Structure 1
Amino acid sequence: MSGFDSNPFAEPASDNPFNDPSVTQVTSSNVEPVDQFNPFPAHPTDNLAAHTTPASTSPYQPAVLQPSTEPSPQATAAAAQVNLLKQQEELERKAAELDRREQELQNRGPSGKENNWPPLPKSFPIKPCFYQDFSEDIPPACQRVCKMIYYLWMFNCMTLFLNLLACLAYFTVDPAYGVDFGLSILWLILFAPCSFVCWYRPVYKAFKTDSSFSFFFFFFVFFCQVVIFIIQAVGIPKWGNSGWIAAFSIIGKHTAVGAIMMIVAILFTICAVLSIVLLKMVHRMYRRTGASFQKAQQEFSQGVFTNKSFQTAAAGVASSAAQGTFQGN
């Protein structure tokens, strides 16, 4: 009956390759098939750093071809030109700085401080020419007298300007006195700056430095100024001064013009009186300083011999004399 139960169409057992024991052993085992094999199994990576292999510390390094760093001639020339331009800009900046400092030094007086007189605005083209500070330069005992002389100079300038207006009025009523108007302009232009330089600045320097030479120079020039004040107050006709004589000569014909000229004559008289009083005050203070004519001579000699202009002139004269002596021989 077993023969009838078998499948007549079944392949023989010996002909089936999958019935081979080696194949059935593989298919029935727990080994993963090839298509499910993972070459990177999931293992913990915490201890990887501990098992890393250090890089080779061999002293022999692979040869690397370094590119050439030598600049081309064009690049060298361009760099040199840029360097020259930078140096030129630096020199120009330094030259401008030196010019600025030189200008500042020129604006400073002999004391090394910046000039502040006359007090002109910074935008004005003319800069101050003198340095003046009573509280800093003048001793307290001399400040009052020095300021009074300064106020006398300003009062004199105002009087000279009013004298010009009075002479102009005199000229309008009588054309024959045109010379007075012309001379009044000259006196204003001449006496205003000269009086500041010739007698006010010397007495300022005398009080500042206790200079005997400056005191003597002030006494000489200021005495001449006192004489000029007296002449102006007198008012000699055709001399350009609206003094007493000129005022009395016109007041009978033109009262208004004569009144203006009399006001100017009074101002000239005040200038003369104040100048005499201040001259005595300065002389009294000068005597207290212990100054003398011998001391003034010594200061003058030292000032002359230490003057660079005098030294240059003396050297030129000596050189010319020596050349003339050699040529004569």
Structure 2
Amino acid sequence: MAQNTDGGNPFAEPGELDNPFQDPAVIQHRPSPQYATLDVYNPFETREPPSAYEPPAPAPLPPPSAPSQSSRKLSPTEPKNYGSYSSQASAAAATAELLKKQEELNRKAEELDRRERELQHAALGGKATRQNNWPPLPSFCPVQPCFFQDISMEIPQEFQKTVSTMYYLWMCSTLALLLNFLACLASFCVETNNGTGFGLSILWIILFTPCSFVCWYRPMYKAFRSDSSFNFFVFFFIFFAQDVLFVLQAIGIPGWGFSGWISALVVLRTNTAVAVIMLLVALLFTGIAVLGIVMLKRIHSLYRRTGASFQKAQQEFAAGVFSNPAVRTAAANAATGAAENAFRAP
């Protein structure tokens, strides 16, 4: 092996540098003005301030991509997307079903509350504790109320609107009879030949006001209160006749005591002011007749949905008759008399 006489690196391979300090990687890091070290630092030498450090150029940022649906913030007015259309539809259907069940529960709770109040009234002493409150008369009046009426307490919630409408219909019919009396009085003042109609108008207001309440409103009230088929049949029979009477009142046959269309047109020839009053009464009678027919049809449809029947009405009538103390006493007396006569017979 040949020795290196030039003072080079004896362990260098052929083709390598003899002096390792001549390596460019070492030479570029030797002390220089750019790379100041303590060996070349002279505090008494004035030099120009070193150039500011220049950071390396930042790497180019990646192009901004479209923000994903999950990381993008929604505006307050933008609707939120919680899922697909099918999931939203199923959630809406479930919410509607829950609301429907909640309404049904509230209705049942009100019904239970009403029945609880009834039981509390009955526990305090039965029907004697229910003070009659209709008609609402002052305490100093010698005539006291004859009926107990509380639609919110005694009538189920689904029928309260119907019963209230019938009560307002009865009040409107009473008001129409009162106005009819005033119109007939005015007609009698301008034409003395209308005395018969004026007298009949007094009779109608005295007769129809209490009879309509007792004969068709109270049966309807008790029918919805206790789901009584017998009271439903009584109401249908009497209220049908009442509707026929409403139609006759609206027609206004002269001499019948009704200020209907015909009577108003007859009086129009003699006095326009009285005819106008009678026309208003005729219009009121017409509205009452139309509402009466509509309510009769509506109550009949409710009656059909309750499952009532004529056989059930017969059973209720028989049970009511035999539960009456007076009827039972009369039947017992009749049976006793028949038995005595049978034993006395030879």
Instruction: For residue 115 of structure 1, report the CA deviation from its aligned partner.
Output: 0.8
Q: 2:287 matched to 1:241?
A: no
Whole-angstrom CA distance in 2 between matches of 1:111 and 1:268: 40
Which of 130, 134, 159 aligns to 1:142? It is: 159
Q: Contact 1:243–1:264 at 8 Å: present in 2 too?
A: yes
Call closer, same or farther: CA 1:202–1:109 in 2, change over 3 Å. Answer: farther
**One-letter amino acid of the counterpart of residue 126, structure 1:** V
Structure 1 residues 110 and 251, CA gap change in structure 2 (3 angstroms): farther
Q: 1:272 aligns with which of 279, 286, 289?
A: 289
- Per-residue deviation, 1:111: 7.5
Name the CA shift for 1:321/1:238 in 2 (closer, same or farther; >3 Å): farther
Structure 2 stretches lacking a partner, 5+ long = 1-124
Does the alignment pair 1:168 with 2:179?
no
Q: Identify the match of residue 210 of structure 1 among 227, 248, 271.
A: 227
- 2:202 counterpart (177, 185, 202): 185
TM-score normalised over the length of structure 2:
0.62
Q: Distance in 1 between matches of 2:310 and 2:149?
A: 27
Higher mean C-alpha deviation, range 138-147 or range 312-321 = 312-321
- Residues 1:119 and 2:136 aligned together: yes
Question: Which of residues 137, 148, 173 is equivalent to 1:131?
Answer: 148
**Amino acid across the alignment from 1:223:** F
Alignment partner of 1:221 is 2:221: no
What does the per-residue CA deviation read over 1:224-249, in whole Å, with 9 as the maximum and x for residues that have no partner? Answer: 10000001111111111111111111
Q: CA deviation at 1:326?
A: 5.0
3-state SS, counterpart of residue 117 of structure 1: coil
Structure 1 pair 110/243, CA: closer, same or farther in 2 (3 Å)? farther
Three-state SS of the structure 2 residue aligned to 1:190 is helix
**Residue 175 of structure 2 aligns with which residue?**
158
Give 1:109 shift.
9.2
Kindly provide the CA deviation profile for residues 248-272 of structure 1, in whole angstroms up to 9, marking residues without a partner as x: 1111211011111111111111110
Q: Which amino acid letter does the alignment assign opposite residue 271 of structure 1?
A: I
Deviations 1:204-233 (A, max 9, x none): 111110111111111111001000000111
Closer/same/farther in 2, CA of residues 175 and 324 from structure 1, 3 Å limit:
farther
The runs of 5 or more residues in structure 1 that have no matched partner are 1-107
Q: Identity over the aligned pairs, expressed in percent?
A: 58
Paired with 1:328 and 1:247, the residues of 2 have a C-alpha distance of 71
Please identify the structure whose Cα radius of gyration is greater. Answer: 1
1:194 aligns with 2:194: no
Q: Which amino acid aligns with 1:218?
A: F
Deviations 1:252-311 (A, max 9, x none): 211011111111111111110010011111111111111111111110110011111211
Check if 1:304 corresponds to 2:321.
Answer: yes
How many residues matched?
Answer: 223
**Counterpart in 2 of 1:64?**
none
Q: Distance in 2 between matches of 1:278 and 1:224?
A: 14
Q: List, as ranges, runs of 4+ consecutive aligned residues in structure 1 with deviation greater than 2 Å.
A: 108-112, 315-329
Map 1:6-155 → 2, pairs under 5 A: 110=127, 112-155=129-172
Task: Tell me how far apart the structure 2 counterparts of residues 203 and 138 of structure 1 sit (CA, whole Å).
Answer: 11
Identify, as 1 or 2, the structure richer in helix.
Answer: 1
Shift of 1:156: 0.4
What does residue 69 of structure 2 align with?
A: none
Contact 1:109 1:131 in 2 (8 A): no
